[in-house]
Amino acid sequence: MQLQDRVAIVTGSAQGIGRAIAKKLASGGARVLATDIQGEKVARVAEEIGEAGGIALPFGADVSNAVEVDQMVKLALDTYGQIDILVNNAGGSGNIGLDHIEDISEELWDQIVDGNLKSAFLCCRGVVPHMKSKRSGKIVNFSSMTARGTFGPRGTSAVRLPYAGAKSGIIGFTAQLAKDLGEFNINVNAVMPGFVLTEPGARVADRFTALSSEEQEHQRTSIPLGRPGEPHEVAAVVAFLVSDEASYVSGAVIPVSGGL
């Protein structure tokens, strides 16, 4: 991975998959703006990157808030002078397990959809003028196998309905944006993780641990490769998509799901 001279914004990088991506891109030489709504936690990730010899600046921001996204983009440009890569990893299905549409409040719907879909729109809107002006850029959005509606047993996704809607929206958003930005040499792709077991204390790991051993076994065996993915396995695909090696890949939605 040759990412020297590249600047990457990685959203949601305080933990889980985003943390692995920030570390991976930094290890390839990119200067990273590591952002997360958990400001203190993302500061520790930036420290870890620095200790490993990389360059990362932390920034606490809610990427579903337009003002904070604009501040994030300005900080990246003021600090590093350029933005080459945007990874819209922030998102998730929340922590409240609700399975029935009748139980989902309008507020919760907005929170999940904004956190997963509007956030991607706002971050792309923020960086695209800069990428257009230099006629290059790489954007990776985050969908989920849950977008297919039938993925897996209950457990690792909390409020599945708005989450599936938002992650499905990411697919159309990615396809259209790739088409719109192709003439500016900006590649826009999405990854579609299946079940990725993050570190203890992160959302998915905690929900998985709370399942019975039978439910855990069912979840594992429903995956063709017979095991959950690991954050670094998603980070590796993202690293490929933002590299020069993926110069002719745009508008793709790549499952990283162990064969689901």
Ligand X SMILES: NC(=O)c1ccc[n+]([C@@H]2O[C@H](COP(=O)([O-])OP(=O)(O)OC[C@H]3O[C@@H](n4cnc5c(N)ncnc54)[C@H](O)[C@@H]3O)[C@@H](O)[C@H]2O)c1
Separation CA 59–CA 38 (nearest Å): 9
Single-letter residue type at 109: W
Per the annotation, the verdict on 163 as an active-site residue is: yes
102 versus 188: smaller Cβ distance to ligand X: 188
Catalytic residue among 59, 121, 151, 163: 163
Q: How far is the CB of 210 from ligand X (least distance, A)?
A: 14
186 versus 196: smaller Cβ distance to ligand X: 196
DSSP state of 212: -
Separation CA 130–CA 113 (nearest Å): 26
Closest CA relative to residue 35, chosen from 53, 19, 47: 19
Q: How far is the CB of 242 from ligand X (least distance, A)?
A: 16
DSSP state of 169: H
Q: How far is the CB of 42 from ligand X (least distance, A)?
A: 7
Identify the sign of the CA torsion 147, 104, 19, 218: negative
174 versus 248: smaller Cβ distance to ligand X: 174
Q: How far is the CB of 70 from ligand X (least distance, A)?
A: 14
CB closest to ligand X, residue no: 16
Q: Which residues bind ligand X (CB under 6 A)?
A: 11-12, 14-18, 36-38, 62-64, 89-92, 115, 119, 142, 144, 156, 193, 195-196, 198, 202-204
Is-contact 38 255, C-beta < 8 A?
A: no
Residues labelled catalytic = 163
